[in-house]
Amino acid sequence: MDARLNLFGSPTAGTFLKHIVSAGRVVSDTALPAATQELVKIRASQINGCGFCLDMHTKEAAAAGETSARLNMVAAWREATVFTEAERAALELTEQGTRLAGAAGGVTDEAWADAAKHYDEEQLAALVSLIALINAFNRLNVIVRQPAGDYQPGQFG
C-alpha cells in the first residue's frame, strides 16, 4: 500500500511537518509524564483510526518500558485496572477532546475538573496541546492513507 501523497517529499508538507514536530518537542519537554503522553497519543489514534500513529506510539511506549498489559488495555481503559486515576482523567479528556463533533458543547466541565485534580496548569496546557497535536497528526496520516507497520522506535529522532 502506498500513501496518496508523499508527505516527506512535498516541500509544503515537509515545512508543515517540521513545525508541528517542533510543537511536539515543546510538549514532550514538559512535566506531563511521558507514559501519560504516549497513552494520550495511542487513545486519540485509536479513535481516529490512524494506523501509522498507533504503530509509532505503541512501539515507542513499549521501547520506553510500557507494559503490554497497559498497551493492550488502552481502548478499554474504563474497565481496566492498570491505569492511575490521573491517567484515566487524561484519557477521558483525550476522548472528549478528540470526539468534539459528536459532543455538543465539547469537553464537559466534569472531565476538565477531574483532569485539573491531577495536573497543574502547565501540565494541563501540555495535555490540551498534546491532544490537539496528535489529532492533527492523525488527520494528516488518515487523509493520505499513510501505511503502517514498519515503524522502528526512534526512527524520527
Note the residue count of the chain. Answer: 157
Higher pLDDT, 103 or 27: 27
Answer yes or no: is pLDDT of 105 > 90: no
* Model pTM score: 0.95
pLDDT for the residue 103:
74
Chain centroid to Cα 33, Å, comes to: 13
Buried b (16+ CB within 10 A) or exposed e, 96-129: bbbeeeeeeeebeeebbebbeebbeeebbebbbb
The residue-averaged pLDDT of 94-110 equals 90
Task: Map out the domains of the chain with their CATH numbers.
Answer: 11-144 (1.20.1290.10)
pLDDT for the residue 102:
79
pLDDT for the residue 43:
98
- Dihedral in degrees, nearest 10, Cα atoms 81, 86, 87, 88: 60
pLDDT for the residue 8:
86
Quick: pLDDT tens for 123-143: 999 999 999 999 999 999 999
Chain centroid to Cα 143, Å, comes to: 17
The residue-averaged pLDDT of 150-155 equals 91
Worst-scoring range by mean pLDDT, 78-82, 93-97, 141-145, 151-155? 151-155
